[in-house]
């Protein structure tokens, strides 16, 4: 008899766990865990072919759980798909850098969910974090008219007397970071989102 695939679903929402199980039961046996700790216990006694991990969970996030898993299993040994209803470029970038194979925004269309899980599970495909998608945003304080640029992906902040100087310094930090990581020395498709904050 052909061995059925083993799928681990980690989500603190019982409703979401049930939905994911219903969508994926045609691909294999689904084991459910409501937290990072529960997932770790399951992995101690069972081998899984893929894990779907929610990002927003109490005590430990999906990215933190991914980091823990990668200390023991490689991306091919246990592929991970991070799922989140709040998925954005920053979260996706951090998840992929931490070792997730792929990311999905939930609720995902059933066809896309099934196709992604099947592809990752069968091939061990791992999407690389893309430095061209690094974003930063500028924040302007009313008091003193100091301008700040903040990049959540590298958790760095710059400041300057003008908005342009703050952005210029931030781009320099991002370029230095991408060179250190071995990525191309350029930034493209950079998105600037301005927000005004009153202290």
H-run or E-run covering 170: helix 163-180
Pairing, β 156-160 against β 147-151: antiparallel
Would you tell me how many other CB atoms lie within 10 Å of the CB of residue 15?
8
CA pair distance 50, 79, nearest whole angstrom:
5
- pTM for the predicted model, two decimal places: 0.69
Quick: pLDDT tens for 115-151.
999 999 988 888 887 655 555 555 554 445 677 777 7
Q: Give the CATH fold of the 5-123 domain.
A: Rossmann fold (3.40.50)
Domain range list for the chain: 5-123, 134-197
- 36 neighbors 79 (Cβ within 8 angstroms): no
Quick: pLDDT tens for 50-104.
999 999 998 899 999 999 999 999 999 999 999 998 887 778 888 888 999 999 9
């Amino acid at each position: 008899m052909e061995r059925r695939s083993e799928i681990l679903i980690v989500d603190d929402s019982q409703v979401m766990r049930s939905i994911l199980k219903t969508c994926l039961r045609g691909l294999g046996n689904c084991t459910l865990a409501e937290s990072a700790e529960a997932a770790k216990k399951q992995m101690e006694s069972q081998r899984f072919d893929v894990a779907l991990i929610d990002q927003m969970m109490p005590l430990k996030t999906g990215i933190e759980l991914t980091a823990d898993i990668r200390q023991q299993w490689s991306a091919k040994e246990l592929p991970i798909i991070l799922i989140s209803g709040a998925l954005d470029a920053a979260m996706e970038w951090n998840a992929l850098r931490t070792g997730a194979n792929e990311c999905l925004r939930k609720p995902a269309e059933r066809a896309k969910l099934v196709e992604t899980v099947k592809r990752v599970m069968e091939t061990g495909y791992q999407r690389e974090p893309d430095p061209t998608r690094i974003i930063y945003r500028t924040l302007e304080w009313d008091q003193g008219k100091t301008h700040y640029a903040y990049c959540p992906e590298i958790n760095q902040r710059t400041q300057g007397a003008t908005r342009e100087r703050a952005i210029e310094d931030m781009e320099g930090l991002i370029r230095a970071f991408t060179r250190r990581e071995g990525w191309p020395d350029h930034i493209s498709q950079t998105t600037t989102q301005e927000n005004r904050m009153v202290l």
